Chains A and B, each alone.
Chain A
Amino acid sequence: MLKKAWYLYYDGFKNMPRWGRTLWLIIIIKLSIMFLVFKLWLMPNFLNSQYDSAEEKSDHVFKELTTKP
């Protein structure tokens, strides 16, 4: 079963037409930009990057909700 599944993917990628390879290239570049550039560098999770515990995050949002300037 696993061998059959492996062969399905292996053969599919091996005999993929040119437009299919182009699409995969686009997908890989897109995901690399999204995760390596955007997620890691440009778009970190604000609360996770500023606070360690759930309590600290909660305190921050609580402060934002009750003392918004």
Chain B
Amino acid sequence: MLLDLTTTTLVEWSRWQFAMTAIYHYMFVPLTLGLALMLAIMETMWVKTGDKSWLNATKFWMKLFGINFAIGVATGLILEFQFGTNWSNYSWFVGDIFGAPLAIEGIIAFFLESTFVAVMFFGWNKVSKRFHLVSTWMVFVGANISALWILVANAWMQNPVGMEFNPITARNEMDNFWAILFSPTAISKFTHTVTSAYTLSACFVVGVSSWFILKKRNLEFARKSIMLASVFGLISIILTIYTGDSSAQDVTKTQPMKFAAMEGLNEGGRGAAFTVIGLPVNDPSLPTDKMKKMEYAIHVPKMLSFLGYHDFNAYIPGIQNILDGYTSQSGVTYPSLEQRMANGRTAIDALKTYKQAVKEENQILADSTLQVFKANYSDFGYGYLNSPYDAIPHVPLVFYSFRIMVGLGMLFVLLFAVSLWYAKKRKFEKFKLIPYLALFCVPMAYIASQCGWIVAEVGRQPWVVQDLMPTNVAVTKIASNWVITTFWMFAILFTILLIAELKIMFHQIKKGPETDN
């Protein structure tokens, strides 16, 4: 056994710390991504039409963008600190692959955003209309390109491609940058994340504008903002659903255990049914408590197969099938997890022997063990598991998070369709339910976003790098008390930042747009 339970507290607290920091960080990010695009569209409308109300709207929403940007900026750096302190084995293991996209992100974020954000805020009446507009568009481009690199790095962890492991340095080295950048996982992760961020921003604009409607203030400004954000939101949520579908197909192929956990699916098969809702409960007849029986489930026949492969009769493996070994829809046969654990242990032993052979200059032994290592490297991480059941993520958390995300996504479709319809007919304020629904959807959009990340990140457990490195191997052996202390320090700092953001933002919203009456 290569792992024991003494590391559990340290691993759990390190995970909690990373999760808490990431959750707080992602409270600031999506509004920056989407509002930047809406600002650019609003300012373009002003430059094209000369309509001053678009200028007023741009300046008001730019103020809220600025507050969110200022409070949120650099919060992601704490995650990078954690890589070095709490996840040093992981940081070394992934090496340049994770480092390169993050470095590009840092440079782009610094130059593009810091330059053009300054022009965007300080440049009114100092630079030409068109240069100011270009700057606003560049802020949008910069923010979204930053997101691209972060998400490419994250996608690589979910589906490691374009690299080769160097057994001497114990690092993965990038051998195909384009394979990493254009992997289907990277594409679906980026497109799904940014379109969902646009949806959240549209919910924010419709919700805040609805507050003005309910207060009977700045009505023309509010109507204009609602109209634009509803169109923007409707397009965004449709794209979010479309990219979510691509993401589901990718997960089916690259992370079948995550897909099975999303469904709480124990026994898969051809024409698998989709569970709309159900109650995952323990069942003593199942081999482990990590697997759940689905009570009171409402199913849609064959729909899961369709979601996974766009084929109603496609084969979808369940958790038990993955444990036992299965042949995928594309004809690839995967051995049982017991076998993959044995392969992983063979790879670990071969790596150890190889290094010793190189040290002793025993070339024949080095060559033969390197071959063994390479043949088993795809199952490397399984060698650290104590039991096949360790490969099962937390089913109820993933199952419910997925349904909350999808359910709220459907609610947003309704919100944008209804608000657009009534805003177009200038009847938005006549039906009080709609502005109240819009207000309700602002926090719901944040919950949906966080649930999406829970599905992605909890769903891939125990892996920090899919199939290659489990979380408990990635962690640095430091005192768990230290991690607990810093956890609470980060929690306090981020809570203060969030309160500051909300306070300043509410104050500016109450003030409203400056020149509109």
Contact = CB atoms under 8 A, between A and B. Distances in A.
B70 interface: yes
B493 interface: yes
Contacts of B123: 8
A27 B70 contact: yes
B73 interface: yes
A64 B71 contact: no
Given A43-B82, A46-B478, A64-B473, A8 B493 contact: no
Interface residues of A, number: 37
Given A8-B119, A65-B89, A26 B81 contact: no
Interface of B is mostly: helix
A47 B88 contact: yes
Interface stretch (B2-10, B294-302, B394-402): B2-10
B508 A19 contact: yes
A34 B77 contact: yes
B3 A69 contact: yes
Interface in A52-69: 54, 57-58, 61-62, 64-69
Contact of A34 (B74, B91, B169, B485): B74
A59 to B, nearest CB: 8
Interface in A20-69: 20, 22-24, 26-27, 30-31, 33-34, 38-39, 42-48, 54, 57-58, 61-62, 64-69
B3 A46 contact: no
Interface of A is mostly: helix
Given A46-B85, A64-B473, A24 B118 contact: no
B363 to A, nearest CB: 20
Contact of A68 (B84, B118, B384, B485): B384
B122 interface: yes
A61 B85 contact: no
Interface stretch (B143-151, B239-247, B347-355, B411-419): B347-355
Contacts of B81: 34, 38-39, 43
B486 A43 contact: yes
B78 interface: yes
A58 B85 contact: no
A43 B84 contact: yes
Contacts of A27: 70, 73
B114 to A, nearest CB: 11
B122 A61 contact: no
B88 to A, nearest CB: 4
B486 A22 contact: no
Given A8-B119, A47-B91, A69-B4, A24 B493 contact: no
Contact of B473 (A11, A20, A31, A65): A65
Contacts of A8: 118-119, 122-123, 126-127
Nearest to A7: B126
Contacts of A38: 78, 81, 486, 489
A46 B84 contact: yes
A26 B348 contact: no
Nearest to B166: A58
Interface in B29-81: 63, 66-67, 70-71, 73-74, 77-78, 81
Given A19-B67, A26-B70, 7 more contacts: A8-B126, A19-B508, A38-B78, A46-B88, A47-B88, A48-B84, A66-B351
12 contacts: A23-B504, A26-B500, A42-B489, A46-B84, A47-B84, A58-B170, A64-B89, A65-B89, A65-B473, A68-B384, A69-B2, A69-B4
Q: Please name the 7 residue pairs, one residue from A and one from B, whose CB atoms are nearest each other, closest first.
A: A12-B122, A45-B84, A46-B88, A43-B81, A23-B70, A66-B352, A61-B92
